[in-house]
A and B are shown apart, each in its own frame.
Chain A
């Protein structure tokens, strides 16, 4: 597996207008997505957004109501799960309680008729890969949650599938363990070179691990992109709100200049970036991240920044940074995060201030 001679390459997965309806309710309402060979793609969304159903349709546990799933160009709709040759890690690990770790990991090999000797060798390698050598004779109930997760991972990759599906695999683990395993999964992904499709509702996990993230909402893909694209250029208010924290400022369009929109906001003129130019006079919402804002009382205004006058209504010291809740003249709440430093004056509640932030970090959503 890890030897350089491996010819394994990741599968390319194409979802085309994929739909799943239960009676009249659509769990997945038309998802089209191209997942590239060797990519780590995360389906991210709140519960009920259709991400798990999409994954189950790729695995073959759910039949699509409409649309197509192709792996390397071949449609797999209609193929039962056991003929799809896809690795899968379940939310609750789904280890077989009556089998030892060795037999659990050897299970997919046994189904494929791999000889006992070969099985033993491959299982040993897989155990090494997930850092559990010597655990082969234990039963799942004798392992910690993290160890069980590693066994599930080993079992899902031991038969060298070209696609690995993971359904919230770290959901049941504590934060520390989760972070360790996130790193390990990245490493495994890099080592194996196969395609990972990962489902989570944890945006931080998605941002940390993924090559690309598909944000799902109400059965549809809201936005697909690299983590920083989603963070810096959210395409919708939903994405801006779901990934990270965002301030939303209502404004009225005064002018559009190429990709830049100029708008009236709280008596000031602010500028932001837009994908599609809005009409003049239209009411819009501009979003920006709290950590991209700063107090700018002493600064001179410049054309690269927007500015607003605010009143401090709450100030919270949180170690590495300070978090301020601010109010604009018309009462809109704004959150500002400032790196903490002994050299920076802390603002107090009730204080008047002026905040500034870069035009490049202002997005029309």
Chain B
């Protein structure tokens, strides 16, 4: 009873400022004046929705993969260094957190532009003859989103790595495992909960990206969030609510799926030994 009372202010807050608006949005998806399933039914063969949804999912998948491949080694480095070096790595990781998405996107425009730093450097090095189109492509979206979302991958992995008893790596080494074998057979499997958390976080956050793809992405890179914003602006609120519901449902389904994955569920339990 008392725990419930303690949580009551937050629960009330969540109810009023989160649950009710979300519910209102869900209801809007069934029509603004009359009850109808038409909006949901039409999604299945709505080419704009399908293409946009696919764009959103594939971009999220690429960004997740990119952050994982780039972030894991950084998380390892973060955990295995001490003192000033570790502090510097942490600051570098967190720096994007403290910069507005808008400013970062402009920075990417300066870097990746037709006459930006990357192209100028490649031209100067004689590697290319004409500037590459990097900005205003899907690649630019993925690169910029990876940059923005890296901390969300690195921090949970670093946290999981930090929770691994350091004597386990020693034990592996003492039992004859080379550093690579020890990593592969002990550290990597034990960091799976962190990887799972990072993957989930980055993927779900990617689904909602809006400003970055709009600013640096290609002409056809419309994400679900962009479509929702567009439809809100076009006053098609029922359709927008319907799209929002799809986005919300996708995120929730992913979270549920991750908790049920056998390997990861197992790993989660193991950490609470």
Contacts and interface: CB of A to CB of B under 8 A. Distances in A.
A contacts B directly in the complex (CB < 8 Å)? yes
Interface of A: 59-61, 80-82, 84-88, 90-92, 94-98, 107-108, 110-112, 139-141, 155-156, 159
A107 B170 contact: no
B177 A94 contact: no
A94 B171 contact: yes
B186 A96 contact: yes
A108 B186 CA distance: 12
Given A61-B174, A90-B167, 19 more contacts: A60-B174, A82-B178, A82-B181, A86-B174, A88-B171, A90-B171, A92-B165, A92-B167, A94-B168, A94-B170, A97-B270, A98-B186, A98-B190, A98-B267, A98-B270, A107-B177, A108-B175, A108-B176, A112-B176
A97 B179 CA distance: 19
B180 to A, nearest CB: 10
B189 A98 contact: yes
Nearest to A103: B185
A349 to B, nearest CB: 51
B173 interface: yes
A313 B267 CA distance: 61
B173 A81 contact: yes
B246 interface: no
The binding surface of chain B is classed by DSSP as: helix
Contacts of A107: 172, 175, 177, 185
B273 interface: yes
A141 B165 CA distance: 14
Contact of B190 (A60, A97, A155): A97
B268 to A, nearest CB: 11
Contacts of B266: 98
A94 B164 CA distance: 10
Contacts of B165: 92, 94
Contacts of B186: 96, 98
B174 A59 contact: yes
A32 B267 CA distance: 45
B176 A96 contact: no
B176 to A, nearest CB: 4
A156 B170 CA distance: 13
Interface of B: 165, 167-168, 170-179, 181-182, 185-186, 189-190, 266-267, 270-271, 273
Nearest to A155: B175
A92 B170 CA distance: 12
B174 A111 contact: no
A140 B172 CA distance: 16
Contacts of A95: 171
B167 A94 contact: yes
A139 to B, nearest CB: 8
20 contacts: A59-B174, A60-B173, A82-B173, A82-B179, A86-B174, A88-B171, A90-B167, A90-B170, A94-B170, A94-B171, A96-B171, A96-B186, A97-B271, A97-B273, A107-B175, A107-B185, A108-B176, A110-B185, A141-B270, A155-B175
A59 B176 CA distance: 11
Contact of B177 (A97, A111, A141, A155): A111
A107 B179 CA distance: 14
A141 B177 CA distance: 23
A333 to B, nearest CB: 43
Contacts of B267: 98
Give the most central of B172, B176, B266, B270: most A CB within 10 Å: B176
Contacts of A110: 185
B147 to A, nearest CB: 32
Contact of A159 (B176, B178, B273): B176
Contact of B170 (A81, A84, A85): A81
A292 to B, nearest CB: 42
Contacts of A141: 270, 273
Contact of A82 (B177, B185, B189, B190): B177
Contacts of A88: 171, 174-175
Nearest to A165: B174
Nearest to B178: A82
Contacts of A59: 174
B200 to A, nearest CB: 20
A87 B171 CA distance: 9
B41 to A, nearest CB: 46
Contacts of B270: 97-98, 139, 141
B262 to A, nearest CB: 13
A95 B167 CA distance: 9
A96 B174 CA distance: 13
B181 A111 contact: yes
A96 B271 CA distance: 11
A186 B50 CA distance: 71
B166 to A, nearest CB: 9
Contacts of A139: 270
B273 A82 contact: no
Contacts of B172: 96, 107
Contacts of A85: 176
Nearest to B266: A98
A92 B172 CA distance: 14
9 A-B pairs with the lowest CB-CB distances in the bound complex, closest first:
A94-B171, A108-B175, A111-B176, A88-B174, A94-B167, A81-B173, A141-B273, A97-B270, A111-B177
